[in-house]
Amino acid sequence: MSKITFIGAGSTVFAKNVLGDVMMTPALQEFEIALHDIDPVRLQDSENMLNNLKATSGSRCRIVSYPDRREALRGAKYVVNAIQVGGYDPCTITDFEIPKKFGLRQTIADTLGIGGIFRNLRTIPVMLEFAKDIREVCPDAWFFNYTNPMAVLTNVMNTDGGVKTVGLCHSVQACIPHLFKPLGLDMEGVQAKIAGINHMAWLLEVTKDGVDLYPEIKRRAAERQKEKHNDMVRYELMFRFGYYVTESSEHNAEYHPYFIKRNYPELIERYNIPLDEYPRRCIRQIERWKTMREELVNNKNIEHTRSHEYASYMMEAMETNNPFRIGGNVMNTGLITNLPKEACVEVTCLVDRNGVTPTYVGDLPPQLAALNRTNINTQLLTIEAARTRKKEHIYHAAMLDPHTSAELSIDDIVAMCDAMIEAHGDWLPKFH
């Protein structure tokens, strides 16, 4: 029996989406679904939920929980990763509260900036342990990474880990709906071309019946921008740089030096920026789980409709050889010609029995490539810090981060990094 392994299976809602999709896919019915999580209670919750779903759906998939990660991976054909190292308490709290003491405010802190750097540094060693197991017990497996920071972790798994890895993010799928619906535009028949890096990929072309829709998009966006709404940062970037960016305004507010500034507090109000947004979401999710758990975990009548998550469609394409198109995060093997070859980029990929085949983009418009490179600089220095265990590269990553460097002096950046290292304690490897 072929095996699909889900690491971080205690993410019960996400496991329902991805693995529920698998159970709804005819080509995947003979697979074992192997579940692994370091939290035995959450692991049991997900197993119960999936067994109930198996009964209501009539799926033939076999559901097995594995306390031992290596055994969960043994013989796997596909591995789905959805872990979060350190969780909300203590690590997310640390990511927000320490920088705040230095006057650095954040919104999400899971991709770039000081929060993203340290999320990477505590996650990379864990991911490389996964890679070691995969090389030994399922070396031909495809690794579908859903964990943030997407670009760095996907990069490390491919380069240092030696594992066939593609990073999967919702922002490409959501880009057109998020742009079109509030502007009252019809998505039917729209063609789009998107490329860049994760959370900062660009809607390079958007047409319908050969007509460029950007002029009408910008006209309607200019009208909408006169009132408060939740996408003001992305609109501003589109007006200034010419193109719409895939990831949300709360994310992009902290990827650039323009929006969150102590000396210009009015910008927070002007662009409707939700500071400390991610901790609020975490608290809401923790509270919601208390009531959701019963209706999800022990619901004998649970049902599922196949979601828009890429994973099951990719597995189906690889099994049946019916091609499927995704926006995937892959290494830049000459795909985007004015971004570094060491970078992980987000481009259209074709999935079939050959695996994941990325498509060639060429040069991005120069201003977009320049914005991407500001983020890639910090990503690559974070990887260097993880590889060498040298504190100086943590400092370099932070000093090159657009938002951090716009707010703090060099001395304060170094002091903040030292405070973050100390506060993380054993969640990090030792740096020298």
Annotated binding site for substrate: 148
170 counts as catalytic: yes
Map residue 74 onto helix, strand or coil. Answer: coil
Q: Contact 115/388 with Cβ under 8 angstroms? A: no
Report d(CA 233, CA 130) in Å as an integer: 37
Q: Contact 272/103 with Cβ under 8 angstroms? A: no
What are the Cα distances from residue 407, in Å, to 111, 155, 259?
A: 18, 28, 11
Residue 186: partners with Cβ closer than 8 Å, 6 or more residues away: 180
Report d(CA 376, CA 398) in Å as an integer: 12
Annotated binding residues, as ranges? Answer: 148, 169, 199
Map residue 356 onto helix, strand or coil. Answer: strand
Residue 302 in tokens: 């649970």
Residue 214 in tokens: 């950007």
Residue 52 in tokens: 């109930």
The one catalytic residue among 36, 170, 256, 393? 170
Tell me which residue of 15, 421, 88, 52 sits closest to 285, measured CA to CA. Answer: 88
Annotated binding residues for Mn(2+), as ranges? Answer: 169, 199
Question: How many residues does this entry show for the chain?
Answer: 432
Report d(CA 165, CA 231) in Å as an integer: 31
DSSP state for residue 45 in the 8-state scheme: H
User: Which residues carry out catalysis?
Assistant: 170
